[in-house]
Structure 1
């Protein structure tokens, strides 16, 4: 739950500026795509690197009634902060045996159950806590990760959950699943998963399950698969202003604005002759006399080493490229003879309004996805919140 805002007087080595006004606008845009569904703001992985608590608060201000995390520890920290209204529901779904089930029950979290072992553990926790657990049954409709398999496994899980509900140990609050390929327009698995989800929901409801919510729509499905919206949608990366997939269009095409801007102050600018090696391994040699700028960010801060030689940076109004290898704490850009001076701002990515690269540009440079670029920015980089 990092909210490590920097003291105003501290000169920044680097900072990740988080525009909460942009996040609220993104939530409103996404809610308009699914006007008949409740909205779960997914803030797992410390809000995709943006800060879970601040982003959860902003999303609730924009109309989110649910907040979602992966781990129970993330959910418990949110509930324990006291910063969210008591009527905001918090759900978590990535459990392992021996997890903090009782704490989750006592904190009134919605917990996901994919198999009988988890149901047994949450029943024991509810008995110890002397209050019913809020349980959502997850169906594996084709992603092949968490979730209960259709057929006999689902039949047994539904029957056992209903028996526990009749005994007062739990309340089945949701039936849910997750798409595998919703970010690929027209992929046949989307329709197949939707059909199977409807069948598994119908089976559970025919036997007496009365869920508060049924849900399967992630960011791309919220944006492009309206028949998947059911009672609730669960946007994650789109809430932070990133496109779930270039195939769906850019963030701007989707009406979204990137929330994070990552910048640093140049630690050094110096003149070097032609043929000068730069960084480990000398994979970059200056083609002629030039100036080099030292950016005090490295892979320990989450800058992908795979972007060595390709990562884009805006310095003094021009795009520069990482020169040589990205090291643990720093990397170099060739300034081509320009001399902006130590302390000049180097913008790695942002919304793109000022001509700066975006997280998607870095994703392409590193051969990865925008999700990873923002999520991996480390704790050494303070998050500075604007438009709170």
Structure 2
């Protein structure tokens, strides 16, 4: 049997892959998280707002209950300032030779994880607003317990000299996605010790923040005066306890549809062979656009209201969908990812199929340069700062 191709295009469909960002979902998620937080809510918009657009996500979050913004790098913080955002901004992951003077002149708070960073910040012109960062049990960023008392003492001396203002103490929990894990109690205990040590050194930080999204939703004991949420803004709950709304939808047209016989090999390596006569649709999205290649052989998409499997490997630019006995016209919309309202796969589904986390899925899609982007719900945010 020879392969045949559908030839009639479907009117009124997108001409290419489209990544849509729903800011209404970001707003709803922010309201829920602000209601759960015991104190202020910091909207973390690092990595371009988890791929959703840092400025738009920041404005949306500020309009729906957030009072602070957080990023990792100073470059991200300065980009928010350049966009006109004037809310308090904290940057907490920078090399020791970062442009601290730019942080001071732009009114950006910075995290200080050690004596070397403190010395560099103190040497910059002006008076920096700093959040001392303690390692609460991850052996990652933040001052080790053995150096914490010395850091607090040095920060207090610099504060008395008018070189810095210690406005915060911060830490991170390592296991908050599993609320029952004993490491959370250890992290809370270490943070409480860090606060007491800072107080004994004469510091009076008014902002104290330990909880991220998962702990904000599940662990009131970790809230203190502020919670930092990033993934939750865009619909990801690492704890799996709360229904948040995904804010990304990825669609693409079927660029070819063909009928093939049983035994037809599909894609590189012929990892898949059809087990019956079927229809195959080609969709122009691949791992260069953020689709995880590790999901090959497991992922599904939504076509004409039904889940259909991807077959063969996820290639750089394309994937193949097995339509079975229900072909579609050329140009028919294929939904690869969305909030799940119509049965389409979610970021969590793609994470399960590829052995990763939803955070990686959405940031990968958001970083893709070939996808058309469309943002909805942004009109009322244009002047918000």
Q: Would the TM-score normalized by the shorter structure come out above 0.5?
A: yes
Give the TM-score, by structure 2 length. 0.92
1:383 maps to what in 2? 373
Give yes or no for the alignment of 1:33 onto 2:36: yes
CA shift at 1:100, angstroms?
2.1
Instruction: Map residues 227-238 of structure 1 onto 2, 5 A cutoff.
Output: 227-238=221-232
CA RMSD of aligned residues (A): 1.4
1:363 is the counterpart of 2:351? yes
CA contact 1:50–1:383 (8 Å) conserved in 2: no
1:8-43 C-alpha deviation (Å, 9 max, x unpaired): x99441112111111111111011112x30010011
* Deviation of the 1:375 alpha carbon: 1.1
Provide the C-alpha distance between the structure 2 equivalents of 1:12 and 1:226, rounded to a whole number of angstroms. 48
Contact residue 213 and residue 230 of structure 2 kept, 8 A: yes
Change (3 A) 1:336 1:10: closer
Shift of 1:352: 1.0
Paired residues for 1:305-384 under 5 Å? 305-377=293-365, 378-384=368-374
Deviations 1:280-302 (A, max 9, x none): 11101112221111111111111
Paired with 1:258 and 1:11, the residues of 2 have a C-alpha distance of 21
Q: TM-score when scaled to structure 1?
A: 0.91
Does the residue aligned with 1:385 lie in a helix, a strand or coil? strand
Report 1 or 2 for greater relative contact order, CA contacts < 8 Å, sequence distance ≥ 6.
Answer: 2
Matching residue within 13, 18, 26 for 1:15: 18
The corresponding residue for 2:175 is 181
Is the 1:15–1:383 contact (alpha carbons within 8 Å) kept by the matching residues of 2? yes
Q: More deviation in 111-120 or 98-107?
A: 98-107
> Does 2:140 match 1:150?
no
Q: Is this contact kept in 2: 1:360–1:370, CA < 8 A?
A: yes
Q: Distance in 2 between matches of 1:262 and 1:11?
A: 11
* 1:283 maps to 2:283: no
Query: Counterparts of 2:269 and 2:128 in 1: how far apart (Å)?
Result: 57
Residue by residue over 1:233-285, the C-alpha shift from the partner in whole angstroms, topping out at 9 and shown as x without a partner, is: 0011111112213xx33xxxx14111111111111112222221111111011
Between the aligned partners of 1:99 and 1:267, the Cα distance in structure 2 is 47
Q: Secondary structure at the match of 2:145?
A: coil
Looking at structure 1, the residues matched to 372 and 200 of structure 2 have their Cα atoms a distance apart, in angstroms, of 51
Aligned residues: 365
Specify the alignment match of 2:8 in structure 1: none
Q: Which residue number in structure 1 is paired with residue 188 of structure 2?
A: 194
Equivalent in the alignment of 2:383:
none
Instruction: Give me the whole-angstrom Cα distance separating, in 1, the residues matched to 2:309 and 2:34.
Output: 38
Q: Is the 8 A contact 2:21 2:374 kept in 1?
A: yes
For structure 1, the residue ranges without an aligned partner over 5 or more in a row are 1-8
Name 1:76's counterpart in structure 2. Answer: 78
Partner residue of 2:129? 134
